[in-house]
Amino acid sequence: MYKVNLHKEGNLSVRMKLDLTKYLKNIPISSPLIPLDTLVSLEADSLNEFAEERKKLEDAILDLSADVIWIAIKELIAEQCDKSIVEHNLLSSYLRSNEENGTPHALESLNGSFPELLKNWVDALIKKYLSDGKTTTLEVLIACKLVKSKVGGDCEECRDDLVISMIDNGCGFPEEYMRNFQNYLHEKSYKFQAKPSEKQENYFFGGAGKGLPIFLAYFIDGEILEDFSKPIKVKEVAGANISISINTNVKTQGAEITLVSPLKPLAALEENQDDLMGTERKPIPILMSPPAAKFKKRVNFFLEESPQKLTRQFGKFAVNKKTVEGDDEASVESEKRPVFAFHQ
């Protein structure tokens, strides 16, 4: 059973945990130490087991399930709000709101993109596991913070901003990616890179590179890119304190993403709403972790067709049939929907 455990951390934060041991232990990687005839038989069996396990995990993290997880996360954060503080009361109501245009911009952007974000957190942990074979439990800390920002340089006039930070324990961001990220934002290159692409079939669950452009166009510019020949502006972001930053967290060595927007919801541009009739009105994907390019091409797990580089590099993670059958985790059941365990 794949369980998504949510733990209250205090200070408007929640820790999400997802145990991926059963899935990771079933990834079929060839080992040159096993005789060929035995290996082919083992890989045929393990590939079937892997496909079954992948389907169970996919059902647990995609689409409606991910939306339910996000709602539960917001509810736990809302419960931590101090009712004696006006701004906390506002944040609590926004976290529990179902209004499409009635929430802070950072929160609204995540409302439409959490499923893709969850998939990429899972991908980051898988990539890390394939590198070191250690961590099999995904952990993500999601925290909100309210800060005062000066308006127009006037020290006496301040605005409440919402800061949302997300820290995972995956593989983190490459140095070059982080160095180029601000230039990528400044030049608005993302507006010219949103291209539809087929989903890749492999170990990973994330998209193929169009999620980040779509998310940034919406969060930074208030525009929707997907399914349109040109961007459609739906939010007025001019003059708003909107920012996004990325880093590799020192403690977890995973990705750290920080979003900042005013606590007050941004105004919707009603004159463009007719252009959205009959289409999705929210940005769908987000891809904050760059794809693991060398794993993106589907691997045929049989020895005669398995890439030698992958075999040599990750041979120590070969699936041994006896190990799988004798593993304590083998008896754990999986369901199509995640089970939530709330901890005070």
Mean pLDDT of 151-160: 71
**Per-residue pLDDT tens digits for 296-314:** 333 333 333 333 332 322 2
- pLDDT digit string (tens) for 96-132? 997 766 899 999 999 878 888 898 899 899 989 988 8
| Alpha helix (H) residue ranges in the chain | 21-25, 36-61, 64-79, 86-95, 105-111, 114-132, 175-186, 211-221, 293-296, 308-314, 321-326
Q: What is the pLDDT of residues 216-230, one digit of tens each?
A: 888 998 888 765 567
Q: What is the number of other CB atoms lying within 10 angstroms of the CB of residue 119?
A: 23
Angle at CA of residue 194, ends 63 and 70, nearest 5°: 25
Tokens, residue 309:
């580089």
Distances (CA, A) of 181 to 186, 192, 248, 290: 9, 15, 13, 11
pLDDT 10s digits, 26-61? 776 544 555 555 655 655 666 777 778 888 888 888
Q: 63 in helix, strand or coil?
A: coil
What pTM does this model have?
0.74
